[in-house]
Structure 1
Amino acid sequence: MADLTDRGTEVGPGEFAPWPLLTMHLGGHPLDQAQLQQLLAWELANPERAAAWGITPANGPGQLQERLDWLQALAPRHGDLPLPPAPLEQCLPLYWQLWLPLALTLKQARDELNRPLIQGVLGVQGTGKTTLTLILQHLLEGMGYRAVGLSIDDLYKTYRDRQQLVQADPRLRWRGPPGTHDIDLGLTTLAHIRTAAAGEAVALPRFDKSLHGGQGDRSDPEWVRDVDILLFEGWFLGARPIDPSGFDRAPAPILTEADRQFARDMNAQLATYLPLWDCLDRLMVLCPADYRLSKQWRKAAEHQMKALGKDGMSDAIIDEFVDYFWRALHPELFIDSLKRDGEHVDLVVEIDRDRIPRAIYSPALAMI
């Protein structure tokens, strides 16, 4: 969620924007009933987003008042967010449209389950899924809930196992695609999180990408207790196999018959992850409006690292790296199908070039 700006505050002449009202509220001037109704009308004017957050004309005033109260309560903690320094007022569009309603949704889901909630977050490279999970941990802590993060990267097979894997299948020269993870480790971890007694320590796997010259290896686990919400994120987390015929005319960079066979094999490997996905209580898809933005974001991040005097990949290597992942699981095939999957996906957040939400909806409700 880098590059925060006030783009979300732009409106046309005569259009209503809620940000002055929210700023006034933060300044210690509670909204009156007329202003609250004005805010509710603005929310309901985006029916897909309103439905995703469960806002109706009947419950809207109560829902929005709760969000207003939490906005004010959490405002003093804004400076501790894992973000580049920015005034809270500049971040209001993200607080109001995504961060706070999502945190409140998770809080409610945890209360209804009466056990730890496992929330999945799928986000392709560069979408800010890791930053989002850190923000949610911070906000939920302020609400009195213990949230922890786990990445699909933390479930990579050991360095030794991956060396044996690449000998058996040289196409898996980079870690990341289906087949490079320890699914049993993931199943054991999620089961332990879900069933741990009060005060019982649970080991969260951790992976150090700097070991073995950047090849990476498993490191010491992080021990956690009394987890309310586990935020489980990854670039293909929750992705399900598609009809193999979809690869007959696949988009670039799936060009050759060897590319198509690799894509089919990775698609088949996804079936082995389904028991892990079945452990999710909820699944959110965070995706760019155009999947090709992922490559641009990766290049921008590497350029920034080089400007700071750090090592970074060249544009050519980034192209090769990202193309490799697109050959394995192409976003146009897998993400697009998930965005319509009302059975397994609870929430879709589409972001623009500046990572500002441009659409928020629930696939199941969008089909009604």
Structure 2
Amino acid sequence: MINDWLQAMGTVSGQKAAQAAALKDKSSAKAFGITSANVEQVVQERSQLLQSLLPAFSQFCQNRLHTPIDKMLPMLWDLWLPLAVKIASQHQKLQRPFVQGILGSQGTGKTTMCQVLGLILQELGYCSVSLSLDDLYKTYHERLELTQADPRLIWRGPPGTHDVDLGINVLEQIRQSQTPVSIPRFDKSAYGGAGDRTEPEIVEKVDILLFEGWFVGVRPIDPLVFDDAPTPIITDADKAFARDTNIRLSEYLPLWERLDSLIVLYPQDYRYSVEWRKQAERQMIAAGKSGMTDAEIERFVNYFWRSLHPELFIKPLAQSASWVDLVIEIDQDHRLTLAKVRK
């Protein structure tokens, strides 16, 4: 497929077909600033970028994704390449490091997107760093104290289990071009899987920060919504937990204010994440690694839905919030479609 594509792009008819396709996809054209006036240049530059990136991307598909490159090529061409170029352009306009927020629930591909964007940005000559919301967890001992104060926080992840001040300091240092920057990292395997802070990564230069997490950019909602909440928020105790978590979200607003842009990875049905997680765990078990049973996964996911339910927090954000720049919709087979672009 790659050779066929390269041969086609080397012809006038192949270039014209790519230009027509770029203009036909109205959402993509709007998101990435493609017009009839610049489409020829855009396609030519994207084609050149793809060819220079192919060796590194092929190795990435083989070693990280364990997926044939042919399967990933359409997504690379249609989404990841133009998105990386857009992020680079936004960085250039700011004349300072750019902070790109990426919101997505479990299984939406946040980590993969950050890794691919990092490859492309490197090819473009930019120094990018990925930071997960998970890297901002409080230390193991701090979370022990937290659980003693609130036994409902049985797992790390919900609002309240992160060191928000740490995140604010890191993002602020990056935005102000301070160097070097100490990027926090978290070892999920420490303390038998409970996890703990580990040695930070020292970075000399950051042009672009890709900041991803399962509720990055999510904001508090009207607490009255919980009076008639969807499952698994059923009991009075469930509703109390959801309201308290909603209150804790306010602590994260100063962190979200330091985002320059927010992308939402949005499943067509939030319940897909359960099946995606089950598939991943089964693959781990088949490979001889430890993994959760289906019942354990359902308890785990339901816990997070009780804390921040996707229908209550992420759906409204994806549909109407003015601070979301791009919504990428995901179907059950992990196919991606641009669903919303901020005007």
**Distance in 2 separating the partners of 1:322 and 1:28:** 45
Match of 1:359 in 2: 338
For the pair 1:70 / 2:24, whether they are aligned, the reply is: no
Structure 2 residues without counterparts, runs of 5 or longer: none
Q: Is the 8 A contact 1:110 1:228 kept in 2?
A: yes
Q: How much has 1:185 moved relative to structure 2?
A: 0.3
**Distance in 2 separating the partners of 1:360 and 1:104:** 19
Structure 1 residues 85 and 312: CA distance shift in structure 2, 3 A: closer
For the pair 1:26 / 2:6, whether they are aligned, the reply is: yes
The amino acid across from 2:288 in the alignment is G
For the pair 1:175 / 2:159, whether they are aligned, the reply is: no
SS in 2 for 1:339: helix
Please show how residues 318-329 of structure 1 align to structure 2 within 5 Å: 318-329=297-308
For the pair 1:263 / 2:212, whether they are aligned, the reply is: no
Deviations, residues 7-52 of structure 1 (Å, cap 9, x unaligned)? xxxxxxxxxxxxx7x85452485242x5434323322322122211
**Distance in 1 separating the partners of 2:84 and 2:337:** 19
Q: Give the alignment partner of residue 281 of structure 1, picking from 260, 264, 288.
A: 260
The amino acid across from 1:214 in the alignment is G
Match of 1:4 in 2: none
Q: Is the 8 A contact 1:49 1:361 kept in 2?
A: no
**Distance in 2 separating the partners of 1:343 and 1:164:** 38
SS in 1 for 2:228: coil
Q: Is the 8 A contact 2:219 2:250 kept in 1?
A: yes
Please show how residues 263-342 of structure 1 align to structure 2 within 5 Å: 263-342=242-321
Match of 1:238 in 2: 217
**Distance in 2 separating the partners of 1:347 and 1:77:** 27
For the pair 1:250 / 2:229, whether they are aligned, the reply is: yes
Match of 2:71 in 1: 90
User: What is the count of residue pairs matched by the alignment?
Assistant: 341
**How large is the RMSD of aligned CA atoms in angstroms?**
1.7
**Distance in 2 separating the partners of 1:196 and 1:51:** 31
In the superposition, the TM-score normalised over structure 2's length comes to 0.94
In the superposition, the TM-score normalised over structure 1's length comes to 0.88
The amino acid across from 1:267 in the alignment is N
Deviations, residues 188-226 of structure 1 (Å, cap 9, x unaligned)? 1111112234xx321000111111121111111010111
**Distance in 1 separating the partners of 2:87 and 2:300:** 34
Structure 1 residues without counterparts, runs of 5 or longer: 1-19
How many percent of aligned residue pairs carry the same amino acid?
52
**Distance in 1 separating the partners of 2:285 and 2:14:** 48
**Distance in 2 separating the partners of 1:302 and 1:117:** 35
Deviations, residues 159-190 of structure 1 (Å, cap 9, x unaligned)? 11111111111111111000110010001111
Structure 1 residues 31 and 266: CA distance shift in structure 2, 3 A: farther
Please show how residues 41-56 of structure 1 align to structure 2 within 5 Å: 41-56=20-35
Deviations, residues 290-349 of structure 1 (Å, cap 9, x unaligned)? 110101011111111111111111111110000000000011111111112442111111
Match of 2:107 in 1: 126
Please show how residues 156-235 of structure 1 align to structure 2 within 5 Å: 156-197=137-178, 200-235=179-214
SS in 1 for 2:42: helix
